[in-house]
C-alpha cells in the first residue's frame, strides 16, 4: 500500500504572487469604494478599513449622472452589437457565397480599411456627424460602428468554411438567399456570432476617444467619458470615484467571467486571422 501525497507544484511560488499583483488593484478599487473620505484622507492611508461606508455608492447610484451614463453605454453597446451581427453576417455571406460584379474589389477595399488608423478619419467623421445633425447625440456613437470591417472579414471566413451542400438543398427547395442566410447559415454560425458579439461589446463599452470628441452634453456621456469627467471634478471624493469605477468595470468583467472561452476566442482571433 502506498500513500499518495498531493504534490504542490513549485510553479505556484512564482505564479501566485504575480497573479495577486495583477488582481490587487481591483481589490483596492472595491475596498476603497466602501470607505469614507475621512478614512482615505488619513495619512498614511488606511489599507484595510475598520468599518465599511456607503457614501461613495450613494453619490454614484443616487445622483442623476451615473445611472444615465450606464443607460447610455447600454443603449450604444446593445444597438452596436445587434447591428454588427446582422450587417456583418449579410455582407460576410454575400462575399463568401454570392457571385457578383465588383465583389473582389469591394472586399479588398473593406479589408484595406482594417489598417487605416482612426486618427486620419476622425476629423472628417466628426464633420460628417455634425452635418447629419448627429454630433452630441448617441447616434454619433452608433452610426460609425454599425458594421465593422473586422466583423465582415470574420463572418466571411466562417461562411466560407461551412459545407455548401445544406444551403444548396434549401435553395433547391425554393428558399431565397435571405431565407438561407437566416434559417440555414446563421444558425450554423453561432460560434462566430458569439465571438463577434463579445468583441463588439468589449470595444463599444470601453471606448473613450471618439465619445470624448463627439459628445459635449453631460447627459449624453457614456461611462468611460463620464467617469474621467467625474474624476476631474471630484478628485477629493475618492470613494465615489472608485464606486463609479467599479460600476464601469463590472459589466465587462461579469460578461468575461461568464463566457471566458468566447472572449478569449475573440481576442485571439485578431492574431490568428487579422
Residues in region 77-96 near another protein by CB under 8 A: 83, 87-88, 90-91, 93-95
3 vs 11 by CB, closer to another protein: 11
Question: Which cell is 135 given?
Answer: 454630433
Q: Which of 122, 162, 170, 188 binds another protein (CB under 8 A)?
A: 122
54 vs 251 by CB, closer to another protein: 251
The 8-class DSSP code of residue 49 comes to -
Judged by CB under 8 A, the stretch of 55-63, 164-172, 186-194, 244-252 that binds another protein is 244-252
239 in the Ramachandran plot: left (φ > 0), alpha (ψ -120 to 50) or beta?
alpha
CB of 38 to another protein, least distance (A): 11
CA distances from 21 to 17, 122, 239, 252 (A): 6, 37, 22, 20
CB 103 within 8 A of CB 94: yes
Q: Does 18 interact with another protein (rule: CB under 8 A)?
A: yes
Q: Please give the angle made by the CA atoms of 59, 61 and 65, to the nearest 5 degrees.
A: 80
158 vs 205 by CB, closer to another protein: 205
Q: Does 185 interact with another protein (rule: CB under 8 A)?
A: no
Give the integer Cα–Cα distance in Å for 30 and 239.
9
The 8-class DSSP code of residue 5 comes to P
Instruction: Tell which positions 102-121 bind another protein, by CB under 8 A.
Output: 103, 106, 109-110, 113-121
163 vs 174 by CB, closer to another protein: 174
Amino acid at each position: 500500500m502506498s500513500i499518495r501525497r498531493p504534490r504542490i507544484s513549485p510553479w505556484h511560488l512564482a505564479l501566485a504572487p504575480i497573479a495577486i499583483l495583477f488582481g490587487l488593484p481591483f481589490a483596492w478599487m472595491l475596498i476603497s469604494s466602501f470607505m469614507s473620505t475621512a478614512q482615505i484622507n488619513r495619512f498614511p492611508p488606511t489599507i484595510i478599513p475598520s468599518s465599511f461606508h456607503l457614501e461613495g455608492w450613494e453619490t454614484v447610484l443616487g445622483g442623476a449622472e451615473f445611472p444615465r451614463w450606464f443607460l447610455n453605454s447600454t443603449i450604444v453597446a446593445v444597438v452596436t452589437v445587434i447591428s454588427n451581427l446582422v450587417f456583418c453576417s449579410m455582407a460576410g455571406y454575400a462575399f463568401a457565397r454570392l457571385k457578383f460584379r465588383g465583389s473582389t474589389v469591394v472586399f479588398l477595399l473593406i479589408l484595406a480599411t482594417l489598417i487605416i488608423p482612426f486618427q486620419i478619419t476622425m476629423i472628417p467623421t466628426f464633420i460628417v456627424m455634425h452635418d447629419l445633425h448627429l454630433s452630441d447625440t448617441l447616434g454619433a456613437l452608433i452610426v460609425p460602428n454599425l458594421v465593422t470591417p473586422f466583423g465582415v472579414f470574420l463572418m466571411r471566413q466562417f461562411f466560407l468554411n461551412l459545407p455548401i451542400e445544406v444551403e444548396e438543398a434549401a435553395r433547391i427547395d425554393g428558399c431565397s438567399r435571405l431565407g438561407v442566410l437566416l434559417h440555414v447559415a446563421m444558425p450554423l454560425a453561432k460560434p462566430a456570432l458569439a465571438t463577434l458579439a463579445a468583441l463588439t461589446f468589449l470595444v463599444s463599452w470601453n471606448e473613450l476617444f471618439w465619445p470624448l470628441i463627439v459628445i459635449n452634453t453631460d447627459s449624453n456621456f457614456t461611462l468611460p467619458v463620464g467617469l474621467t469627467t467625474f474624476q476631474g471634478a471630484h478628485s477629493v471624493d475618492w470613494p465615489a470615484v472608485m464606486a463609479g469605477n467599479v460600476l464601469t468595470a463590472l459589466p465587462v468583467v461579469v460578461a468575461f467571467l461568464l463566457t471566458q472561452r468566447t472572449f478569449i476566442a475573440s481576442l485571439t482571433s485578431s492574431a490568428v486571422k487579422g
